[in-house]
């Protein structure tokens, strides 16, 4: 990225998660942009041009995170940017059998709580896949 810091946009309605994840990423040398809703996340995506997205699945509505991902996939400028979905939904239960469509077109889907080292590992892995 020509020596510039990699910019990560965290979109999650849990301010504690946003703050703690932001600290982890900033400590690791990433530039962090924070958004507390899908709408704010898409606005900040346009204005800040992040290199990677961390998106909560369920925010104000059950499908808000999926709607954000869909909007990113449909936008030519953001469709190829790596995305990590974060959710408190049990990924080993009914979720695993649910068919995934483009609304969840993410590089990784992680279950909360996410340990700091795990978050950094997946961010690094997603960026390497670019």
CATH number assigned to the domain comprising residue 107: 3.40.50.2300
> Does pLDDT of 100 surpass 80?
no
Is residue 97 a part of any domain in this protein?
Answer: yes
pLDDT tens by residue, 50-92: 999 999 999 988 889 989 999 999 999 999 999 999 988 766 6
Q: Domain span at residue 67?
A: 7-128
Is residue 1 a part of any domain in this protein?
Answer: no
Can you state the angle between helices 64-74 and 38-48, rounded to 10 degrees?
A: 30
Question: CA-to-CA distance for 33 and 44, rounded, in angstroms?
Answer: 8
Instruction: Say how many domains are in the chain.
Output: 1
Q: What is the mean pLDDT of residues 107-127?
A: 94
Strand order of the sheet with strand 83-87?
A: 31-35, 7-11, 52-56, 83-87, 108-111
Rounded to two decimals, what is the model's pTM? 0.89
Q: Between vectors from CA 30 to CA 65 and to CA 75, what angle results, nearest 5°?
A: 40
Is residue 2 a part of any domain in this protein?
Answer: no
């Amino acid at each position: 990225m020509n020596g510039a810091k990699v910019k990560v946009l965290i979109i999650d309605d849990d301010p504690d998660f946003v703050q703690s994840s932001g600290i982890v990423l900033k400590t690791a040398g990433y530039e962090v942009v924070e958004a507390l809703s899908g709408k704010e996340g898409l606005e900040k995506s346009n204005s800040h041009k992040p290199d990677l997205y961390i998106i909560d699945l369920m925010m104000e509505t059950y499908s808000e995170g999926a709607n954000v991902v869909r909007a990113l996939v449909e936008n030519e400028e953001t469709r190829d940017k790596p995305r990590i979905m974060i959710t408190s939904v049990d990924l080993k239960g009914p979720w695993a059998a649910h068919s995934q469509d483009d609304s969840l077109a993410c590089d990784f889907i992680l279950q909360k709580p996410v340990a700091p080292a795990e978050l950094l590992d997946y961010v690094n892995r997603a960026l390497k896949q670019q």
